[in-house]
Structure 1
Amino acid sequence: MKGGSKVVVEPHRHEGVFIAKGKEDALCTKNMVPGEAVYNEKRISVQNEDGTKVEYRVWNPFRSKLAAAVLGGVDNIWMKPGSKVLYLGAASGTTVSHVSDLVGPGGVVYAVEFSHRSGRDLVNMAKKRTNVIPIIEDARHPAKYRMLVGMVDVIFSDVAQPDQF
């Protein structure tokens, strides 16, 4: 997807989410770290009338349950710019990075992941995204990480464990 005059980016009904209208429409978020991709996703650069550029990252619904829900027409994602989100099951941070874009610099994402392998990628992603706080801990035992997490507006659970409820 090429940027410039061919692509028009419009706000989605969920605040902080956008639709890039071009040859094919794509769900996207405004990149909080312009020039940086997290998982080799496509980036779209749009020039405003005043000459400033805004970069968006394409949000793949085949790699993110939250993106699939948005495209599927979910009523409310309960996240918007400035929200504080507790994200359980963060994995390597693919969806977390888009939630980071969505909540913006005024929000925060507490990203909990149990796997040390995925957690390493999550921590590296969070180094460039100041609103992501990676927590390598078992999401099923909140007492172990509660002192790291402030009050949140939303809890998003993307946990895949045999004894989850």
Structure 2
Amino acid sequence: MSVSSSEVAKAEPLPEGSWASSAARRRNMQAIRSRDTTPERKIRQLVHAQGARYRVSTRPLPELRRTADMVFRSAKIAVFIDGCYWHGCAEHYVPPKTNPGYWSDKVARNIARDRDTDQKLKTAGWLVLRFWEHEESDACADKILAEVRNRRRIS
């Protein structure tokens, strides 16, 4: 006998205080990667192929509990490749139909945290480069490499 995913979702109780609207939604959201996404990997591969070396998913500032996707410590450059949904891309963000209050607030908090991170890094002398996941990987890699070379030449 076959069991549909909706029947499984009904059968699985949600943990107390869960943010998920259903067990199936909870599984889907938990499966989303926070690092090593396809856009990140493509850009990293292109940058690495040009000889640039960097740290992956690390804190640019040890006291700041936020990680950048790529960190060029000697050049003081932090690179973020932002997902369109999670970071509220003006072109591609679509508000959720299920539990919209929670998810829209979550994205708004992410955007506010991103601006705060940018400000704190800039204050500490870092250059922050942000790209959307939908941007062309070659163009992103070229911009990163140009900034790294420029900063290393200056210092």
- Give the alignment's TM-score, normalised by structure 2: 0.27
In proportion to residue count, which structure has more helix? 2
Structure label with greater radius of gyration: 2
- Give the alignment's TM-score, normalised by structure 1: 0.26
In proportion to residue count, which structure has more strand? 1
Identify which of structures 1 and 2 has the higher relative contact order when contacts are C-alpha pairs closer than 8 Å and 6+ apart.
2
